[in-house]
């Protein structure tokens, strides 16, 4: 199953909801959402800085990942950026594949 890192930023309304229900309830709601598309959550961390929350998990495919992002954005409470993650073994496979490339100006 493809693995993703979701970087989440709360809107002011989303931050108010977090104040109201707390971090563990939000983690549980995120886990339920990911499981609803056939996925699993590996980790969920709130953060200081430019992003409010980081979630790592697996979902069946890119369409499932898109469904999560669309639902999150439609709520107006948060914006989520999905980053596909690769294992070191997947990178090994990638570097063994031939691909034609011409550098700019070459």
Residues 45-95 pLDDT 10s: 999 999 999 999 999 999 999 999 999 999 999 999 999 999 999 999 999
Report yes or no on 103 lying in a domain: no
Helix axes 62-75, 23-36, angle to 10 degrees: 140
Can you list the alpha helix ranges (DSSP code H) found in 4-52?
A: 12-21, 23-36
Structural domain count of the chain: 1
Pairing status of strand 78-85 against strand 40-46: unpaired
Instruction: Classify residue 93 as exposed, middle or buried by CB count within 10 Å of its CB (0-12, 13-18, 19+).
Output: exposed
The whole-model pTM stands at: 0.90
Q: Looking at residue 11, which CATH number applies to its domain?
A: 3.30.70
pLDDT digits (tens, 9 = 90+) for 5-54: 999 999 999 999 999 999 999 999 999 999 999 999 999 999 999 999 99
Domain that holds residue 61: 3-96
């Amino acid at each position: 199953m493809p693995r993703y890192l979701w970087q989440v930023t709360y809107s002011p309304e989303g931050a108010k909801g977090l104040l109201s229900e707390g971090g563990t309830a939000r983690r549980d709601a995120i886990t339920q959402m990911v499981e609803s598309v056939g996925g699993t959550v590996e980790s969920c961390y709130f953060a200081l800085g430019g992003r409010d929350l980081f979630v790592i998990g697996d979902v069946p495919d890119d369409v499932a990942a898109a469904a999560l992002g669309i639902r999150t954005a439609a709520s107006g409470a948060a914006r989520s950026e999905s980053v596909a993650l690769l294992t070191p073994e997947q990178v090994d496979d990638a570097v063994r594949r031939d691909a034609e490339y011409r550098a700019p100006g070459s």
